[in-house]
Amino acid sequence: MTYRNINYSDFHQQNQSQNRGQDILLGLLGGAVGVMAMDIFSQQIMPMFESDDQQQSNGQQEQSQWQQSDALDSISVVGKHHRQQESSTAALGRMVYQWLTDDEPGQETKSMLSYGVHWGYGIAQGGLYGAWQGENAGYDLGTEVAQGVAFGTALWLFGDEGIVPMLGLQKGPTASPLTNHGERLTMHMVYGAATAAATHALKQMTT
């Protein structure tokens, strides 16, 4: 009778790889939930706390700051790539479309491209969260949600406030009112909390 030699090291590595893949997949799904929560919060909840006069005032302030120039209105290292009243996701979507087709997208196409970039980025960051959280498994829901809020805050600080304007996809920090920065921070915190909660729930369902 012969016995097969089993390489337990290879088996352990294969099992770790499978677990990492599952963590990323659950994070991607959690990221989709996070994007939905972020959109609901920004489109339905935030306007409830802002009067029409405040919205008009913010719009006038943003228009005024666009026309003026401060030291950190642009921190891009590759030039300006966004247009006036164009979001970073719309700018990136338009640039990719122009690169692929050598043509200017229509308004409806611009909106679809912007949503595509927004959702793609949010889902991808959820995968990153899932991979990171897989290395720190075993926490309760409250702890993971707190970590999700910290994750969302980091995305806002390094992404929304740093990398995105440095790539010329949106204005620099001094070109927008402080209220805009606060709103975007809150939106990212909501995204992080929802992503963490959904990923935790999905992980509980699959174990």
pLDDT digits (tens, 9 = 90+) for 21-58: 999 999 999 999 999 999 999 999 999 887 655 555 55
Residue 86: what are its φ and ψ, rounded to 5°?
Answer: -110, 125
pLDDT, average across residues 178-203? 96
Q: What's the number of domains the chain is made of?
A: 1
Residue 101: what are its φ and ψ, rounded to 5°?
Answer: -115, -15
Residue 157 lies in a domain: yes
| Stated pTM of the model | 0.84
Torsion of the alpha carbons at 174, 50, 41 and 180, rounded to the nearest 10: 0
Residue 55 lies in a domain: no
User: Residue 11: pLDDT above 60?
Assistant: no
**What is the domain range of residue 154?**
27-39+70-84+119-205
Question: Please, are residues 72 and 174 in contact by the beta-carbon 8 Å criterion?
Answer: yes
Residue 46 lies in a domain: no
Residue 3 CB coordination number (10 Å): 5
CA angle 98, 102, 106 (to 5 degrees): 55
Q: What is the pLDDT of residues 138-165, one digit of tens each?
A: 789 999 999 999 999 999 999 999 999 9
Q: What is the pLDDT of residues 166-186, one digit of tens each?
A: 999 999 989 889 999 999 999
Determine if residue 7 is left, alpha or beta; phi over 0 gives left, psi from -120 to 50 gives alpha, anything else beta: beta
Question: What long-range pairs does 141-147 form, CB within 8 A, spacing at least 24?
Answer: 141/197, 141/200, 144/196, 144/197, 144/199, 144/200, 145/193, 145/196, 145/197, 145/200, 147/196
| Distance between CA atoms of residues 143 and 196, nearest Å | 9
* Cβ-based neighbours of 92, under 8 Å, separated by 6 or more: 117, 169
- How many residues are present in the chain? 207
Distances from the Cα of 68 to the Cα of 85, 101, 109, 124, 170, angstroms: 15, 35, 31, 36, 16
Residue 21 lies in a domain: no
Residue 4: what are its φ and ψ, rounded to 5°?
Answer: -75, 135
Residue 139 lies in a domain: yes
Residue 13 lies in a domain: no
Residue 105 lies in a domain: no
pLDDT, average across residues 72-94? 92
User: What is the C-alpha end-to-end distance of the chain, expressed in Å?
Assistant: 37
